[in-house]
Amino acid sequence: MMLVTEFMDGGDLRSVLDASRTSRRFSWLHKMECALHIAEGLVYLHSLDTKVIHRDLKSRNVMLDSVSGAKITDFGVARETNDATMTVGIGTYRWMAPEVLTDGHYTEKADMFSFGVILAELSTELVPYTDLNLSDAGIIARVMVGTLRPTFDTTESPPWFVEMGTQCLALQADQRPTAAAVAYALHQALKQTAETRVV
């Protein structure tokens, strides 16, 4: 048996962000496009008749190419929402929602928290919490109770982007936006950016 997959010549998002910290080659326009493509992928997953939750959304699981942008990968732990294993704690803890860390409960809002962490990565270009002198257990404990969230570079990031990311990182899952709402906001922001560049 052979498996043929699309070649993503840009590599994974985490590697691109690491390289961008020295080269500054990943512009805000590209970051916004990347965020939109991830959000659109989540819209698709979350709008299926039986919703699919990725459960391990992180920058290493987003692949980039020079033609079609960003795509979500690594569905090894993805599950339909009616699957009995939706309460098993799976994923990479720095991107995990508080409710997942607390009791292992997944809904599509857990993916939205992970998306918010990726927005913070796009803003700072850093792996979440690397600027803190905390153990893994210390980070997890603080995220679980809402006293620690990934940070945004407010000097470089547009205010609306920081606000969107902050909403995605809400402690209460029901306060996080849907993938559709985020995709719409990103689409509108890109449209305004394009109009501004033309003028």
Tell me which of 12, 18, 49, 56 is the catalytic residue: 56
Whether residue 56 lies in the annotated active site: yes
Instruction: Find out whether 113 and 169 touch, Cβ atoms under 8 Å.
Output: yes
User: DSSP states of 46-62 as a string?
Assistant: HTSSS-EE-S---GGGE
User: DSSP states of 96-116 as a string?
Assistant: --HHHHHH----HHHHHHHHH
Residue with tokens 């965020």: 35
Instruction: Find out whether 141 and 171 touch, Cβ atoms under 8 Å.
Output: no
Cβ neighbourhood burial of 181 (10 Å; 0-12, 13-18, 19+): middle
- List Cβ<8 Å contacts ≥24 apart for 20-25: 20/125, 21/125, 21/126
- Name the residues annotated as catalytic: 56
